[in-house]
Structure 1
Amino acid sequence: MEQKNEYHRTMSQSTVGYSPLPEPSARESPPRRQILYEQPTSCCIRDMRNQPQANALGAAALIFLSGGMNIAWSIGFDNLADEIVICMHLRISWFIGAIIGSVLGVVFSRCLTYKLLMQLCCLLTIVGGILFTATQLNVDAMMAARYLNGLANGLALPATLSTGGELVVFYKRGTYVSATEQLSCTLGIFMQIVFSVSWSPDYDLTADQLQGVLCTIYGAIALFLATVFIVESPVQLLIQGEQELAIDALIRLQYPKTMTVETSDQMTEHSAYVAQNNSLRSTEAWCQALPALLRLCLLRALYAMSTSMLIVFTLTLASTSVYGLSSGPYVLFGLLRLAGSCSGAFVQDTLGRKLTQLIGFMICGAASIGLATRFSSADFVRLPDLRKAVWMLLIFQFFAGLGFAPSSVYLSEAFPLSVKRMCIAIAYIVELSIQLAVCYVELNVHTNCIYFYGLGVFTLLGFLFGHWYLPETNYLTLRQAQQKFRDFS
């Protein structure tokens, strides 16, 4: 009797959010594995215990960092205006490469493990970086380098967001997944902005060659991280029937690497998650995924509009008119976007996904409409209006970083297993297609007015839509989060 009571006391300490382990029958004794469990008493202890999960996503973070630098280059933060005329194909080549990569990623995920796929992405990043570094003002080499980096990011993103939600414990999923994609990409954008506005043409190494050097370094470090630290998803191992390997993966994803009660609970929860999804036929999986897919495609489309070529054109127009050739507004633009993404990422598991998204969208919508009114004059824009436009654009960027931080987390947890990577790839392709479309828009003051009115209206509608139809999935397991996305209620 004492042994049974002690068993229940041990089980009561397991982390909230997982289904309890089944009670052993009278004929069975508890497993003889050594069970060590300590309820975390501080954030530092929890972070230390879950550090292997962050390490497993480190390679992807570096690839997205290089991708952020290429995105910033594509939307106008380049340093070549006085040296060559950038053709449209070169400008959009990264986006095309990323679209191709996301399609191929869905195909390759059926025959390659996550580790092999990430190693391939690292090699593509290294080769692209070398091409950028070894050549100077060679359009064909630059285009090839950008295609390769886009291909690497397109291959990595659906696999990483899908796998990341399965690798990370439920109470750290928001921070780790958002930091891996959103924060890393934004950091890359910020770095490219700084290089493009402050790099002197007198230096032996051009700003683009420096970008190539950094991409090569990121790819090499990412290859090391992918080889040493990546752990295969325990969920995918369970789907393949490899239960022992799944348990081993869970043990390797925590520190110290030993079997604990929390590990047992995670195994039970992952098994229930797999069983629930295996019971779905293909049509049922798509019917469940469609409501979430429509919501998140809208979210990612607005994300693309918040970091587009028209945004950079507006910043350049207003900043040059008010502050001349000063690099301050550009650096502050990137820094505020980075601060917003950083703030959003690190509150995903405390304030939650929904609150940060609603706050960000509400301020972004108001700032965008305010920006549009500054460009509504039929003849010319006054200097005071341009000064206000600069500051509203800076405010917009901070709250855009905050508001779009949950989008990565939502993508990682919204879809049924059998269609998850395909749905993430579709949402990513929608985002990239918006970027491509904006690149072909005529850049002038009247276009600015229409664009920001549209962005403001859609962002405010996104605020209302998010309030009614986006669920709060903070502190929920993947199985529970998926249930929240099943319909529009």
Structure 2
Amino acid sequence: MATDKYAPPDQHSCTAPDSSWLSRGHKNQPQWNALGAVSFILISGGMSLAWGAGFAVHSAHREELLMTSHMEVSWYAAATVGAVLGALCTHRLPLQPVYIFGSCLVLVSGILFLACHECPAAIITARYLDGLANGLVFVPAMATVGEISVRGMRGLLASTVEQLSCNTGILMQLLYTAVWQVDWNVTIAADQVHGVLSIVYGVVALALASTLCVESPVNLLLRSDEQQAVAALRHLQRPYMVTSETLIQLDEHKHYVATNREMSWWQSVRMGLPPLLKLLALRSLNALCLTLVVWSALYETAVQVATHYQAWPYVIFGVMRWCGCFCVLLLVDTTGRKKPTLFGCFSCGSFALAFATLFGRTPHMITALALLFSLQFFAGLGQTASAVYLTEAFPLAVKPHYVAVVYVIELFLRLIFCSFAPSPAGIVAYFYVLGGLSIAFFFLSIFCLPETRLTTLSEAQHKFSKWFNKDF
């Protein structure tokens, strides 16, 4: 029988499910522990994204954020630099020192927010540090998360580390924003709360990076250190011993490295172009669902529904986005990645078009607000699988560089639409465009987006390299 060069020997030997989902979660928990530091750094990044997207009306620097570009640009510029550095470090340097350095940057950023909350220069510096930390860890984490996890948990791990963490940070930002919106009699400034939370995230991330970080087995195999690769695999599953399953995973990784080493640099570049374009389109929609325009739409709609614009619209907005992401987490390795992505994008586009139609019509503002909340739910739902696609899609030689390209383009789009306050007509046009792009992506993705659940990295990479994939 002919063999598929993308399928390693005994490729189905380690796909049999354990007795329960909980037992599998317990067995594979060390894989999450290895990336726990990244999760907390990205929670801090989610707060900074929301802070720069308008959800900082409580801040003493709100006017400066809108009137001057430096405070706004700082986080995105530093994250871009961090992504470039992260791409250069991935598969060249060990992961642990990168994660430790990123954790320290978040910690210092939180200290600046807490101690110098009235000083604009200190806030700008803090945003630079937090952005650098997020860009620095995002690329190596997304490039290696699929190498650290077993195939049956890859979707859950990647989506939790990136999407759930970022949406948790957004939710935290909106929750404490809500507290200050209702004018509670407190002595601590809201920006100081941002600092306290960042300090907590930085300390926890530093502790996890220092004690539980495990190197990517693929990274070690690239250095021809098979013994350390076996040791890494041993520490990524309970019990901490070498089993037949460990050796099967080692064979998968060796096959993955060997397959990619057969390709030249230019072959890898060409093979990575189809997934690059697909993921640029998907992640661009993610960026467009949380910008200053979206905040302006929330504000303009909510003030006509709530007499004094109380805190609840912020809370519901953040909770809906977080719940949309959480609902998909447990499905990406069973139902798959493609179905939730298609359903989320189609629903998001439909609600965006409906909101644009109703926005500004006073008798229908409560309906428009409900549509905006629903849009955020389906934005979270539709983007959850994009995290695992990032770690599966690209050839090994160009993976960190293409992940960095996707991340930088996403940052650039967020920055463009966070740099000005739109008019009501601009909000309507924005949501019509968002809805149209989401629907167009839905129809194209039916034929172009692959389904990669329970595949090896080599198989997923091969599927993504094709322009058309009609599998579900």
- 1:217 equivalenced with 2:200 (yes/no): yes
Larger radius of gyration: 1
Shift in Å, 1:201: 6.5
Q: From 330, 339, 352, give the equivalent of 1:355.
A: 339
Aligned to 1:132: 113
Shift in Å, 1:82: 6.6
8 Å contact 2:288–2:413 — kept in the other structure? yes
Q: From 277, 283, 291, give the equivalent of 1:294.
A: 277
Q: From 29, 33, 54, give the equivalent of 1:76.
A: 54
Question: What SS class does the counterpart of residue 197 from structure 2 fall into?
Answer: helix
Aligned to 1:115: 96
Q: CA RMSD in A?
A: 1.7
- 1:19 equivalenced with 2:9 (yes/no): yes
Shift in Å, 1:197: 2.0
- 1:334 equivalenced with 2:334 (yes/no): no
- 1:464 equivalenced with 2:448 (yes/no): no
- 1:260 equivalenced with 2:243 (yes/no): yes
Shift in Å, 1:258: 1.1
Q: Structure 1: 5+ residue runs without aligned partners?
A: 1-16, 22-36, 376-380
Aligned to 1:13: none
- 1:480 equivalenced with 2:465 (yes/no): no
Question: What SS class does the counterpart of residue 258 from structure 1 fall into?
Answer: coil
- 1:204 equivalenced with 2:187 (yes/no): yes
Question: What SS class does the counterpart of residue 417 from structure 1 fall into?
Answer: coil
TM-aligned CA distance change 1:82 to 1:218, over 3 Å: closer
The whole-number CA distance in structure 1 between the counterparts of 2:184 and 2:81 is: 34
Shift in Å, 1:308: 1.1
For residues 7-56 of structure 1, give each alpha carbon's deviation from its aligned partner in whole angstroms, at most 9, with x where no partner exists.
Answer: xxxxxxxxxx86229xxxxxxxxxxxxxxx99721112111110100111
The whole-number CA distance in structure 1 between the counterparts of 2:292 and 2:47 is: 14
Shift in Å, 1:93: 1.8
The whole-number CA distance in structure 1 between the counterparts of 2:313 and 2:288 is: 20
Shift in Å, 1:374: 1.8
Q: Structure 2: 5+ residue runs without aligned partners?
A: 1-6
Aligned to 1:229: 212
Aligned to 1:58: 36
Shift in Å, 1:202: 3.8
The whole-number CA distance in structure 2 between the counterparts of 1:95 and 1:321 is: 32
Deviates more, 1:259-268 or 1:176-185: 259-268
The whole-number CA distance in structure 2 between the counterparts of 1:139 and 1:88 is: 12
Correspondence 1:402-413 to 2 at 5 A: 402-413=381-392
The whole-number CA distance in structure 1 between the counterparts of 2:258 and 2:168 is: 39
Q: From 327, 335, 343, give the equivalent of 2:327.
A: 343
TM-aligned CA distance change 1:39 to 1:346, over 3 Å: closer
Question: Counterpart of 1:159 in structure 2: which amino acid?
Answer: P
Deviates more, 1:349-358 or 1:93-102: 93-102
The whole-number CA distance in structure 2 between the counterparts of 1:131 and 1:405 is: 32
The whole-number CA distance in structure 1 between the counterparts of 2:59 and 2:250 is: 55
The whole-number CA distance in structure 2 between the counterparts of 1:136 and 1:223 is: 23
8 Å contact 1:18–1:265 — kept in the other structure? no
The whole-number CA distance in structure 2 between the counterparts of 1:431 and 1:410 is: 15
Aligned to 1:168: 149
Question: Counterpart of 2:10 in structure 1: which amino acid?
Answer: P
8 Å contact 1:95–1:150 — kept in the other structure? yes
8 Å contact 1:79–1:208 — kept in the other structure? no
For residues 123-156 of structure 1, give each alpha carbon's deviation from its aligned partner in whole angstroms, at most 9, with x where no partner exists.
Answer: 1111111111111221000000011000000001
Question: What SS class does the counterpart of residue 465 from structure 2 fall into?
Answer: coil
Aligned to 1:367: 351
The whole-number CA distance in structure 2 between the counterparts of 1:127 and 1:366 is: 42
TM-aligned CA distance change 1:108 to 1:272, over 3 Å: closer
- 1:47 equivalenced with 2:34 (yes/no): no
Figure out how many residues of one structure are paired with residues of the other and give that number. Answer: 453
TM-aligned CA distance change 1:259 to 1:397, over 3 Å: same
TM-score, normalising length: structure 1: 0.90
The whole-number CA distance in structure 2 between the counterparts of 1:382 and 1:425 is: 42
For residues 63-93 of structure 1, give each alpha carbon's deviation from its aligned partner in whole angstroms, at most 9, with x where no partner exists.
Answer: 0000001111000111446776223321232
TM-score, normalising length: structure 2: 0.93
8 Å contact 2:8–2:255 — kept in the other structure? no
The whole-number CA distance in structure 1 between the counterparts of 2:16 and 2:387 is: 30
The whole-number CA distance in structure 2 between the counterparts of 1:88 and 1:344 is: 36
Aligned to 2:82: 101
8 Å contact 1:79–1:207 — kept in the other structure? no
Q: From 219, 236, 253, give the equivalent of 1:270.
A: 253
The whole-number CA distance in structure 2 between the counterparts of 1:393 and 1:228 is: 42
For residues 303-352 of structure 1, give each alpha carbon's deviation from its aligned partner in whole angstroms, at most 9, with x where no partner exists.
Answer: 00011111111001100111132211210010010000111222111111
Question: Counterpart of 1:251 in structure 2: which amino acid?
Answer: R
Question: What SS class does the counterpart of residue 236 from structure 1 fall into?
Answer: helix
8 Å contact 2:91–2:219 — kept in the other structure? no
